[in-house]
Structure 1
Amino acid sequence: MKRPSLPLVALCLAFSSCHGLNFGQFNQRVIPSRMRYTTPTIPVASIANTLGAGHSPLQEIFQYNQLSYNIPLGAQFENGAYDPSRNVFTGLEVTHDRIFLAVPRLYPGVPSTISYVPRAAIGVIPNPPLEPFPGWDWQSPNGLGGYSANCSGFTSVYRIRADRCNRLWVLDSGLTNSLAGFMPVCNPKMIAFDLSTDQPVRTVVFSRSVLRPSSLLTNLAIDYEGPETDPNCERLVFYITDTAVAGMVVYDLARDQARRVSDLSMYPDPDYGTYTIAGESFSLMDGVIGMALSPARAPSERLLYFQPLATNRVFSVPTSALRDFNAGEGQQLPVTLVGRKSSQGAGLAMDDLGILYFSPVAETAVASYSPATGQQSIITVDNDRLQFAAELRVDDSDGSLWLLSTRFQKYFRNTINLNEINLRVIRIPQELLMNSQGAVGQFGYQLGGVHNVYTRSANVSHYFA
């Protein structure tokens, strides 16, 4: 299906950060002259109509004041095993029958770090309890039995991914209390589960040679080297973010080999280490976290898009460079600066048309950008329901965009009000993603306005100029 042409208009017509500027002034002051008037603009009246009530494409699938869990009859949480003010989800995967949610142990009091909700609950229960996956016996060290380091189970999971062979890959960081003491408990690992039986079928424990003492593995992207008809999905390559010690772990499943890569583009930018969301600010110097793979035209041509949390920039790198196991750790990666956003963000997603989706946190928006054409759009703005999009996922079955929205700033600052809605699972249908001519667009810095190839350099200002 062909995506309609998207207009390019000024973001400050919608966002309060540009008070006092009209559209012409914005063009002169903010948009570099070589970028001006490259595509049609929307009249101000049209934008005002777009921002009216009743036009939001957001479908709230589930909403929670606080996360609750389905515990066995007669069981109860041990003292300190459950603190609702410390349970915030960061990871999402959507399958044909379940919605999987990862709740990392950022603080003590998280009983289950990976759970699911049946899709059958959609439209029936607005806040269904979470069912631990694959069961309570996997939820160490803070499950029903309280604190016990059982490294055969899960320690703390940030994100999960399903492959096309009906397996769920769970990335376990191996540490707890990452925002309250940073406590390593077990070696980081990945475990694959057959979703037809919920039984583990593969375990990968990462060697210390690709880790650092403070490594924090938070996200994974799955690349397919084999043909789509490969019944076993054994020719997989995983790209895994190390957010605390900026870099990536690349793991080849067929060869059972791992390597570590790093680049200055994966580091946090100190100028963007403070975030302001809905009037509340916090600081967090997190490195690379968001990732999205370009469509699989051919494995050698794929790009991995990525961004640190503490930056306003999006980068890309050819996956062929990441998969070069003959290169050493000092390899100079051919990283490209794709462009700048209006503010920071965590999640990235890309659909099969090559459209990149992201959520700038300060603007509480969902946006899209086409690297191929330079076209961009703000799909929607919602100051209440889009305060921090921790995860964005495209459902390959229907092209819809799913996201996790949380009031993460309040969890971080311990100002959460459990009488309000704080966590949402949201879906945007494909037709509303594609029919975005009426949405406001154009960021303060144009994505795609600058295309440079960066390599490792001792001059940090090479990146942050």
Structure 2
Amino acid sequence: MNRRTLSSLASKPVQLLSVLLLVVTVVNAIKLTEKFKWREVKFEWPSAEAEQEAINVGKYIVSHNLPLGLERWKDKLFITVPRWKSGVAASLNYVNISDDISPTLRAYPSWEANQLPDTKSEESTPKTLDNNNTIISTFRIRADECDRLWVMDTGLADILGDAKQYAPASLAIFDLYTDKLIRRHYIPESLMKEDSFLANVIIDVERGDCDNAFAYLPDLGGFQVIVYSFADDKSWRVKHNFFHFDPLAGDYNIGGINFQWTDGVFGMAVGKRSRDGTKPIYFHAFSSTKEFMVPNRVLQNETYSQDPKSYYDYKLVGDRGPNSQSNAEFHDPETGVIFYNQVNKDGVGCWNTAKPYNPDTQGLVDSDSDALVFPNDLKVDTEGNLWVLSDRLPMFIFTSLDPDAYNYRILIGQTKEIIKGTPCDTE
């Protein structure tokens, strides 16, 4: 039962106590509230003439712009729009927290930095970009404790069409106070595999030790994790059997669409520091229902991470149960709860890290067959708010979206409140 069902029930005389109790139960279960929603996303163009010209030549196709990733920093909420198809206006954008319900997206760090380079020849992938500020196509981003925005740029545009690699995959790191590029690290070609795809970035750093930062880049197609050391400006890859997908968990049924995916390691979360000084890095493949863990010291030591002995440092945490595939997760340091998307259940799940990991200890903080069709990304901000973005991606890829319906939503909830009454409750 979704939010629209509640509205229709309210208009009819209901006398059966059991139905009333059902309605009360559903109302109590709805803990995330809509902050933003769009039928189709629009952008803040330099001018109306520039927008119309882009439409005329096919550089802007409104229906091809699908928001996917999000991150909050102060009064900004960053929203990514990957270049799945041609005609994407800007891949890295933001809105202000105080904006109206369906705000226009503003390009970050600038409009110019989000324009595709003009290439007159079909040359092999260039080694660098002429303008290092340029963002080709990003799926997920992360603002760290040191007020830097880490952008995982795939360098690939028109993924579902005439795909073109404008530049190698790279990490672009911006100073959020100045909006200036701090550094860009191109992932060496030697680390990439034929089916490699880097669509996520997880940052491991603490305020006061900003130079000692590490980025973990799960490679969902190459079944590996690429680790980047900010101090050394160097990256390396880590391989393990646990990074592969589960062949029994590749079937999806979302919004009436049945399809199969074979995505490997995707969701990752940095846990709480333990007494020995290490942090657990939780991870799972998208097409899987199992959760794993490895100490961060293993990933951060390039030499040891390649040692066969390191294989046994990886541990199975547990299994979420059937139909619980998830593409993103995030550890909330305040509650000790890991929140994760439940794509097959139109919802958001949770697990209290102080408890065992099994189907009985998994909570569902919210589920909605309209507002949460394919929750695609989630983050917890510094104020204890959980932000969730849903975008109906399977319809976008396999069929089409209804331009008259609300297709994209961003929902919000206080972490301490939304876990109440679930197995994740800390009280």
For structure 1, which segment, 61-70 or 362-371, has the greater mean C-alpha deviation from structure 2 after superposition?
A: 362-371
Distance 1:222 1:101 in 2: 18
- Partners of 2:266 and 2:327 within 8 A in 1: yes
Q: List per-residue Cα deviations over 1:386-408 (Å, max 9, x = no partner).
A: 11111110112x21211111111
- CA RMSD in angstroms comes to 2.8
Q: List per-residue Cα deviations over 1:322-369 (Å, max 9, x = no partner).
A: 111123646443222222223212111111132111122222122211
Distance 1:177 1:298 in 2: 47
Shift of 1:223: 0.9
Superposed counterparts of 1:13-412, under 5 Å: 48=22, 51-53=25-27, 55-73=29-47, 74-76=49-51, 77=54, 79-121=57-99, 125-141=100-116, 152=132, 153-180=134-161, 182-224=163-205, 228-230=207-209, 233-297=210-274, 300-327=277-304, 329=306, 331=308, 332-333=310-311, 334-341=313-320, 342-343=322-323, 344-352=325-333, 353-374=335-356, 375-396=361-382, 398-412=383-397
User: SS at the partner of 2:302?
Assistant: coil
Distance 1:97 1:285 in 2: 37
- Partners of 1:242 and 1:289 within 8 A in 2: yes
- Sequence identity percentage: 27
User: SS at the partner of 1:418?
Assistant: coil
Residues 310, 155 of structure 1: alpha-carbon distance in 2 compared, 3 angstrom cutoff: same
Q: Quick one: which amino acid aligns to residue 113 of structure 2?
A: W
Q: Quick one: which amino acid aligns to residue 319 of structure 2?
A: R
Residues 298, 389 of structure 1: alpha-carbon distance in 2 compared, 3 angstrom cutoff: farther
For structure 1, which segment, 233-242 or 304-313, has the greater mean C-alpha deviation from structure 2 after superposition?
A: 304-313
Shift of 1:430: 2.6
- Partners of 2:150 and 2:201 within 8 A in 1: no
Residues 200, 298 of structure 1: alpha-carbon distance in 2 compared, 3 angstrom cutoff: farther
User: SS at the partner of 1:270?
Assistant: coil
- Give structure 2 stretches of 5+ with no counterpart: 2-17
Report the counterpart of residue 445 of structure 1 in structure 2. none
Higher relative CO (Cα under 8 Å, sequence separation at least 6) belongs to 1
- In the superposition, the TM-score normalised over structure 1's length comes to 0.77
Distance 1:260 1:407 in 2: 32
For structure 1, which segment, 159-168 or 327-336, has the greater mean C-alpha deviation from structure 2 after superposition?
A: 327-336
- Partners of 1:300 and 1:319 within 8 A in 2: no
- Partners of 1:299 and 1:320 within 8 A in 2: no
Shift of 1:276: 0.5
Q: Quick one: which amino acid aligns to residue 350 of structure 2?
A: S
Distance 2:275 2:68 in 1: 30
Q: List per-residue Cα deviations over 1:113-170 (Å, max 9, x = no partner).
A: 100001221xxx1110100111121113289xxx999553111101111122221111
Shift of 1:71: 0.5
- Partners of 1:110 and 1:142 within 8 A in 2: no
Shift of 1:47: 9.0
Q: In structure 1, which of residues 406, 422, 431 is the aligned counterpart of residue 416 of structure 2?
A: 431
Residues 313, 86 of structure 1: alpha-carbon distance in 2 compared, 3 angstrom cutoff: farther
Distance 2:103 2:275 in 1: 41
Distance 2:198 2:151 in 1: 11
Q: How many residues align?
A: 388
Shift of 1:212: 2.2
Distance 1:108 1:247 in 2: 29
- Partners of 1:404 and 1:423 within 8 A in 2: yes
